[in-house]
Structure 1
Amino acid sequence: MPVNMIEEGDRSPRIILIEPTGSTAEVLLYGAQVISWKNERREELLFRSNKALSKPPKSIRGGIPICFPQFYNFGSLEQHGFARNRLWSLDDSPLPLSPANNHSTVDLILKSTEEDLKTWPHRFELRLRVSLSTNKLTLIPRVRNTDSKAFSFTFALCNYLSVSDISEVRVEGLETLDYLDNLLQKGRYTEQADAITFDGEIDRVYLSTPTKIAIIDHEKKRTYVLRKEGMPDAVVWNPWDKKAKALPDLADEDYKTMLCVDSAAIETAVILKPSEEWKGRQELSTVSSSYCSGQLDPRKVLHGIS
């Protein structure tokens, strides 16, 4: 049977999810951040910097941090919002969701505090369910408005994926879509390439994206498949060499072995009336991929993956 273990560490308690075939995931109570996801061969699938700051109030560089109630830095709120820099609690009474079957699962909750209300004056409950099954990691975030007035927010799950060599990676499923380019004053452009490949810094928000996106690692012959609901946008980010050197919690060469492909609701903010709830869903899975050439038909990557 799946096992949940709680360990104390130098940062905060962590929940270790263990799946019968041997795959594991680690979730910190601080920030409700998934910091590790290993397959049955004990290969780490998420990137985490060796220079990541290990103590609050900063979140760890890597894993899957949560951005709420904003993604961009607006007003007095901290960069990417405050949810990733708060201590969450185990949710003793999670709202009903579809059965977790044989998954190893943990439910966490964050509620607005009087201190948070000073900078973001809206009462809320933010819940996260993390479930682990064979070759699949599922995150289900939910936001409930517990205030007497409506509020809006933006949201993202920032997926730091571990890759063998960023120059050998391609992302398929975002071709022909419009995107906002953060390196060009958030100008709006249309993706012209058949697939996204990497030879320099990239920081884009792809809009109205499909529910499935494939991240293909040629060298490892492994494909990450990202499925998402309720989060129509996708952020693609790699700092490349100059930006990596400027980030204190990222090693100079780390950009070569990481890629962020995020599930997000950014362009159009989510609006919740009192007592309303928003729900998102993200599934990350891995499949082996082999090649006859450098090209891969994205329909074949995604076809038949349930």
Structure 2
Amino acid sequence: MRTASTSSTVRALMASTRSSCVRFVAVLPRQIINASLIGYDIYLYGGQVTWKNEHREELLFVSSKAIFKPPKAIRGGITICFPQFGSGALDRHGFARNRFWSIDNDPPPFPTNTTNKAFIDLILKQSEEDAKIWPHRYEFRLRITLGPGGDLMLTSRIRNTNTDGKSFTFTFAYHTHLYVTDISEVRVEGLETLDYLDNLKDRERFTEQGDAITFESEVDKIYLSTPTKIAILDHERKRTFVLRKDGLPDAVVWNPWDKKAKAMPDFGDDDYMHMLCVEAACVEKPITLKPGEEWKGRQELSVVPSSYCSGQLDPRRALSV
């Protein structure tokens, strides 16, 4: 899939492919990709993704009070956290989520099998604004792929293009907001018995106890050395999200619960009941790239019926390549 167009700030951008178009929603251009009745929307602001099933139901949560206007990041979908996850020298979660990405019309070959799949390539490069706060040249290429069965894959490739011989270091996450029917009826499998850093306790290290993770209060944890597959079971909707990942050893689990939900201006008071963030990430051990080096990290999301049990899906199954 290739799309190309330019426009004024008010004119819509129209793509040249049958399965997608770009248009402005409020003040933000949006790329719409459909495969049959399944599809996703991409906001060029932040490289943000939303995802729907064949019934046009949202699979990714977007806050009822999300602000679709720069410089605020969109609260929901899949947010790209780069070059920093969480708090640090930069603004929280870095700047990639607050930048306008471009459609990449001539990307280098991706080692991704795109047969019978809809996909689009985006690119983000250093701007003058970025250079003032993070003085490194980079190319961030993002391929967003929709499989014929509705699976959603994001593949990120980040290259150091510094010409001064300097390396750079970053942390990263796919900040994935899943839509759930009732957070109290959700459990997460695949992270039990693992060590985690608790952001609510100054990143103190603990070991997870119990057979599965359930929710009855605020949670903000970074699980370490996680498996390639994590399952999120929504009992009330009778469906399971399966998250598979590659190149991303950590997994973040977050829900703000009621008090913090009410304190966030772009988050509805009751939104916490219908969302859960489970994020493929690289946080504990930052990635360092020398000039010319490239890092790659992938995340794939699929939905299966609630008849799922832990043994049915092979956690060793590789991502589609």
Tell me if both proteins adopt one fold, taking TM over 0.5 as the criterion. yes
Q: Which residue of 1 aligns with 2:198?
A: 181
Query: Which one of the candidate residues 56, 60, 72 is aligned to 1:58?
Result: 72
18 and 297 in structure 1: CA distance in 2 versus 1, 3 angstrom threshold: closer
Shift of residue 7, structure 1, vs aligned partner: 1.2
Report sequence identity in percent.
Answer: 59
2:315 corresponds to 1:300? no
How many residues get paired? 298
Amino acid paired to 1:215: I
Alignment of 1:83-232 (within 5 A): 83-97=96-110, 98-133=112-147, 134-147=149-162, 148-232=165-249
Per-residue Cα deviation, 1:114-144 (whole angstroms, up to 9, x for no partner)? 2211110111011100011222000001100
The alignment partner of 1:275 has SS state of: coil
2:22 corresponds to 1:10? no
Structure 2 unpaired stretches of 5+: 1-16
Per-residue Cα deviation, 1:243-273 (whole angstroms, up to 9, x for no partner)? 1111111111000000000010000000101
Task: Give me the CA root mean square deviation.
Answer: 1.5
Structure 1 unpaired stretches of 5+: 291-295
The alignment partner of 1:13 has SS state of: strand
TM-score normalized by the length of structure 2: 0.90
Amino acid paired to 2:283: I
Instruction: Note if contact 1:214-1:301 (Cα within 8 Å) is conserved in structure 2.
Output: no
Query: Which one of the candidate residues 226, 235, 256 is aligned to 2:273?
Result: 256
The alignment partner of 1:158 has SS state of: strand
- Partners of 2:154 and 2:311 lie apart in 1 by 25
Per-residue Cα deviation, 1:95-128 (whole angstroms, up to 9, x for no partner)? 2112311111110000001221111011101110
Instruction: Note if contact 1:2-1:102 (Cα within 8 Å) is conserved in structure 2.
Output: no
Instruction: Note if contact 1:51-1:251 (Cα within 8 Å) is conserved in structure 2.
Output: yes
- Partners of 2:305 and 2:315 lie apart in 1 by 14
Amino acid paired to 1:136: D
Instruction: Note if contact 1:149-1:273 (Cα within 8 Å) is conserved in structure 2.
Output: yes
Shift of residue 54, structure 1, vs aligned partner: 1.8
Per-residue Cα deviation, 1:145-200 (whole angstroms, up to 9, x for no partner)? 00031111000001100001000000000011000001111100000111000000
Q: Which residue of 2 aligns with 1:241?
A: 258
Q: Runs in 1 of length 4+ with deviation above 4 angstroms?
A: 301-306
TM-score normalized by the length of structure 1: 0.94
Shift of residue 300, structure 1, vs aligned partner: 3.2
- Partners of 1:102 and 1:6 lie apart in 2 by 21
The alignment partner of 2:266 has SS state of: coil
